[in-house]
Amino acid sequence: MDKRMLINAVETEECRIAILENNVLEELYIERSSRGQIAGNIYKGRVVNIEPSIEAAFIDIGLKKNGFLHVSDVLPHRGNGSSSSETDTHAKHYRESHKIRDILRQGQEVLVQVTKESIGAKGPSLTSYISLPGRYLVLMPDMPRLGVSKKITDEEERQRLKTILEGLSPPQNIGFIIRTAGALQTKKEIHKDFHYLLRLWKNIEKRARDVSAPSTIYQESDLVIRAIRDIFSADIREIIVDSEPVYERTRDFLRIIMPRYEKILTLYNENKPLFHKYDIEKEIEGINCKKIPLPRGGSIIIEQTEALQRKLHGKYG
């Protein structure tokens, strides 16, 4: 099987990533700089309004629209003394037994992460359950539990990975989950991701202490880095990038999290545009068309809705 990842980033306004299998377009990801995606971003916000009728608070995070924080997305206060084994039960009981006005007050500063983009008149959805994805791990501050993705089903492999994770001795108040991509990875690879995420979280904690609300604390990586982190798989034989600055950034990121794959990264510098070279431009034009003709006449129009947006921004595995 011949599988490639093509990264078209020569135009700064738009980045496109295509996954080809035997030169057939299998997956396409597009990010436009004008849209300013904020899902995954972390903010230090301030509670501006509490609505007991819907058990939610509205948080000023420094954007045009206030964020929406439901009581079910409020993390139990740190330092509650729960042990690792008690954490999930305690959090569930906490959500069920507390009211939003008992947890938050107007003017209070809170650290939150965006889980869903703004759409229409609605502001972004927020959570105080912070999660930071790496290539093989997800770091979860103030949720001290260790786990393995349910998508890894082999019991022997699950036990091996959990043993590796426990051997890393994570800080008492930080939890980790091994992602699906962590299956069959060596202790060295997981160790590298572990320390990368810990450094990242320490930087976030420091910035959160140093600034006042509302402030941006952490911006989620752009499409290229997210693709390498979340989409890349070991069966991809080549990563081709048509922008030298993006190539260099991709190379640097690979050196940090997956150094053995740096050798499959290639800078494309031919005159013919990258997507034309692989004959997928016309196919992409068809994908982007909202109006789709039907074989026997007529057509259907597909518009993005709030439900579709939730589907498109799924959680990492």
For the stretch 117-139, pLDDT in tens is: 988 889 999 999 999 999 999 99
pLDDT, position 293: 74
For residues 15 and 58, membership in a common domain is answered with no
For residues 150 and 232, membership in a common domain is answered with no
* 179: pLDDT strictly greater than 90: yes
- Residue 282's H or E segment, with its range, is helix 281-288
- 152's tokens: 């890894």
For residues 250 and 205, membership in a common domain is answered with no
* 304: pLDDT strictly greater than 70: no
pLDDT, position 115: 96
Does a structural domain hold residue 78? yes
Q: 129: which DSSP letter?
A: -
What's the CA gap between 277 and 281, in Å, rounded?
Answer: 9
Please check whether residue 114 is in contact with residue 124, taking contact to mean a CB–CB distance below 8 angstroms.
yes
For residues 204 and 86, membership in a common domain is answered with yes
pLDDT, position 80: 35
pLDDT, position 315: 55
For residues 180 and 58, membership in a common domain is answered with yes
Please check whether residue 130 is in contact with residue 141, taking contact to mean a CB–CB distance below 8 angstroms.
yes
Looking at the 3D structure of the chain, how many domains does it have? 2
Domain end: 218, 240, 272, which one?
218
Residue 301's pLDDT band (cuts 50, 70, 90):
confident
Please check whether residue 216 is in contact with residue 43, taking contact to mean a CB–CB distance below 8 angstroms.
yes
C-alpha 222: how far from chain center:
10
Domain end: 197, 218, 239, which one?
218
Does a structural domain hold residue 303? no
Among 66, 76, 70, which residue's Cα sits nearest to residue 51?
70
Please check whether residue 293 is in contact with residue 106, taking contact to mean a CB–CB distance below 8 angstroms.
no
For residues 264 and 288, membership in a common domain is answered with yes
pLDDT, position 97: 59
For residues 129 and 195, membership in a common domain is answered with yes
Expressed as residue numbers, the domain containing 288 is 3-36+221-293
* 200: pLDDT strictly greater than 50: yes
* 85: pLDDT strictly greater than 50: no
Does a structural domain hold residue 267? yes
What's the CA gap between 52 and 125, in Å, rounded?
Answer: 17
For residues 286 and 160, membership in a common domain is answered with no
For residues 114 and 184, membership in a common domain is answered with yes
Does a structural domain hold residue 299? no
